[in-house]
Structure 1
Amino acid sequence: MKQIDKRSLWTKEFVVLSSINFFLIFMYLLLNSIITLYALNELGTTTGQAGLVAGIFIIGALMGRLVTGMLLSKVNGQSLLRFGLLFFALTMALYILDFGFTFFAFTRLLNGFAMGIATTIIGTIVVLTIPEERSSEGIGYFAVSTALATGIGPFVGLFLMPRTGFTTIFLFCLLLAVLNVMCGWFLSVPSKKTNNPTPYLKWTHVLERTALPISLIILVMTFCFSSILSYISLFAIERNLITAASYFFIVYTLTVLVSRPVTGRLMDQRGPDVVMYPAFLLSAVGLFLLSSATDAVVFLFASLLIGLGFGNLSSISQTMAVKAVSREGKARATATFLIFFDIGNGLGPVLLGLMLPVIGYSVMYVLLGIIVLLTILFYRRLSLR
């Protein structure tokens, strides 16, 4: 196995894995920004069914993470990476076929399953390539690939949709998925593998107990943030802000790119609390502002606050989950964090989609802002332990 220079952060492996991760998240969020509109307009679904189409992808990703968590200690990481990327490309091709709502929902489930495998193994391998003394900084830079995709993916989706149509977007994503397979297939990556048989499965083989508290917090936060990922386009149409909506995630991304290197160093030097408490407050204020936004300025300022808040909270939380365990437990800690991340992202569109016809978008964002504020109390109990 190729040895990685322990003092080096920007290795070939780190850069390529970060790039693959970017395109995976880019495709997921590009599709997620238009998928509810596709379900409503092309498949003739209800709002609840559109939410299911969005959320079932994350349910599939969760299943993929669970399976990967069980296999990480027994199967070579490079083999898992190749399988995940190839399966993602194959399931991406199914989007082009039009066999109705049930088939499309099943396609989303399988595509999410492949995504869960690929992103979990990538997140685990990246941790092994980062020097221990630069873990917060390294994970922060890796998380920038997700942050970039979070902004560019929805922007491209909302930009292409009225200009090209859904089929062209699906073909574009398929091309990117194939390129990802080509990039990852010949990459030499570090991995850990044990041939010791496991007589029976226990939850501790998949989840890391020490990472559970911070993972529960990220579950709540991603539940709240999923309201933006899945419904911001519909909310913008209601408020006549559809042009501003395409720039919402660009502002979010630029904010995260500027702030994350700073917050990563702050955590390394002064601990996580100096970042986490302001991030909770900024996220809540951003949701409150979003609920009342009627013009582009307030709408995009809410994006900036949410970028400073959730955009940094997500990366700092992942760093906390990984740093709390030994090097041998980092794979399980990464899988645990991402599993709970996916639960929040998966439950959000489904449950909120059922509530939206009753409460509307403004009330939804106010309620989610209150939930974020209440989460501070849970985090305080965690930080005092």
Structure 2
Amino acid sequence: MEKNHGKIWTGPFFVALFNNFFLFIVYYALLTILPIYILNDLNGTEGQAGLAMTIFMLSAIIVRPFSGRIIEVFGKRKTLLISELLFCLSTILYVFIDSLSLLLALRFFHGIWFSIVTTVLITVVNDIIPDSRKGTGLGYFALSMNLAVVFGPLIALTIFQLYSYKVLILGLATVIVIGYLSAFTLKVSEYSIETSTAKWYRMSLHDLFEKKVIPSGVVGFLTAFAYASIMSYISVYAETRGVFESVSLFFIAFAIAMMAVRPFTGKMYDTRGPNAVVYPSFIFYAAGLILLSTMHTVSTLLIAGVLIGIGYGSVVPCLQALAIQSAPKHRSGHATSTFFTIFDSGIAIGAFVLGIVSAKWSYSLLYIVCGVIIFFTIPVYWRLIGGKKGIRYSESVCNHQE
């Protein structure tokens, strides 16, 4: 694909950006509304509602390591169009589900295609973004996912309350089908390498994982582990402190802060290198978590949301860019799948372990623990990535190099 040097906001970038936004709108909308549907309409239990969430992530984590190999064998364009088509069909099928067993089976099936399509989209957008603007471009791309954290639940709850579950599903299906049709306009560059014709039975560990991504993956795991406390427990914690009705404001503050700093952090990554963004971002992130542990008022909740939005919202796209840039271009699919396998595992394991912490002690202690983990992640990052002198990534690295 021919690139516009230095230009990020091109037609193909918009198509990929909105596709990613729609995918995560569907993901977060279902994450919000399915527990209510299971409890009220399917007469399920809280445990079964949790299982429906877990099984989706489980299938995504299982398939994620194979995504890079699938992209390599079938090509980016074919993988994108097939996986997004099956993601669309999976979304439509929620309309017809009337039993818990069928819902769990669909959640597992849906998670497979979510894993593959989100991996290939990042690989495609990495080719679209000019080499000198990776930090900025991937930062804006990651913003589409983070904004869906706010808009997904907001759309789901609004439509569900005003209309019905089926109307919500049909609305989500319509949105994702529009995104799918727009994907046909993307001209995707393919890498012709010898391994792309290899047989599946000759797969090795190298075909599933990109070992050069492990350093950024380890840092991403710790980052995601702590973020599981926000995804899984912020609503319950807010309820215990009497500010449950303001949880949506927390995510709005999170999103506004993240969008406000994105132009600066992306440019800083491209001109001064990742360390200039990562270190202060971890400090903001940890400070927000520690502040959250002391939360008794709405103002404290919102300030914590701003700090976490600046920190978490800035560091994740940086780690994602580092992961992709650490591998050769033809291995970008493997790099992406490896990073998100480790990252998603951090969220899954974090939700489980932190649930034990909150049950045995308190939510306040849970957020203190998470803040300490993020402070601990700073020297881990320095040891694995930031302190490496003269380190060079692939040709798509940021302008500044040691």
- Is the TM value for this pair above 0.5? yes
Deviation at 1:48, TM superposition (A): 4.8
1:192-341 to 2 correspondence within 5 Å? Answer: 192-194=191-193, 195-198=196-199, 200-341=202-343
CA distance in 1, matches of 2:76, 2:162: 40
- Residues 1:291 and 1:213: Cα distance change in structure 2 (over 3 Å): same
> What's 2:83 paired with?
84
Contact 2:19–2:176 (CA under 8 A) maintained in structure 1: no
Contact 2:68–2:336 (CA under 8 A) maintained in structure 1: no
Contact 1:154–1:249 (CA under 8 A) maintained in structure 2: no
Deviation at 1:54, TM superposition (A): 2.1
Out of 379, 382, 387, the residue aligned to residue 384 of structure 1 is: 387
CA distance in 2, matches of 1:171, 1:296: 35
CA distance in 2, matches of 1:46, 1:374: 37
1:1-385 to 2 correspondence within 5 Å? Answer: 3-40=2-39, 42-43=41-42, 47-194=46-193, 195-198=196-199, 200-353=202-355, 356-382=358-384, 383-385=386-388
Unaligned runs of at least 5 residues, structure 1: none
Deviation at 1:249, TM superposition (A): 1.6
CA distance in 2, matches of 1:49, 1:338: 26
- Residues 1:359 and 1:154: Cα distance change in structure 2 (over 3 Å): farther
CA distance in 1, matches of 2:283, 2:136: 23
CA distance in 2, matches of 1:218, 1:160: 34
CA distance in 1, matches of 2:281, 2:325: 20
CA distance in 2, matches of 1:177, 1:193: 30
SS of 1:8's partner is coil
Per-residue deviation, residues 130-161 of structure 1 (Å, max 9, x unmatched):
11122222212222222222232233334445
Contact 1:286–1:305 (CA under 8 A) maintained in structure 2: yes
Per-residue deviation, residues 259-287 of structure 1 (Å, max 9, x unmatched):
12211111222222222122222212212
Q: TM-score w.r.t. structure 2 length?
A: 0.87
Per-residue deviation, residues 163-211 of structure 1 (Å, max 9, x unmatched):
4454443332222222222222343322324443246212211221111
Per-residue deviation, residues 316-374 of structure 1 (Å, max 9, x unmatched):
11111122233233232222212222222333334444554433433322222222222
Per-residue deviation, residues 274-303 of structure 1 (Å, max 9, x unmatched):
221222222122122223322211111111
Matched letter for residue 240 of structure 2: E
- Residues 1:287 and 1:321: Cα distance change in structure 2 (over 3 Å): same
SS of 1:10's partner is coil
**Which range moves more in the overlay, 205-214 or 12-21?**
205-214
Per-residue deviation, residues 100-142 of structure 1 (Å, max 9, x unmatched):
4333232222211111111111000111111112222221222
How high is the sequence identity, in percent, across the aligned residues? 31
SS of 2:72's partner is coil
Unaligned runs of at least 5 residues, structure 2: 389-402
CA distance in 1, matches of 2:315, 2:26: 23
Number of residues of Structure 1 aligned to a counterpart in Structure 2: 384
CA distance in 2, matches of 1:57, 1:339: 14
Contact 2:68–2:335 (CA under 8 A) maintained in structure 1: no
What is the aligned-residue RMSD (CA, Å)?
2.4
Deviation at 1:32, TM superposition (A): 2.1
SS of 2:73's partner is coil
CA distance in 2, matches of 1:10, 1:358: 49
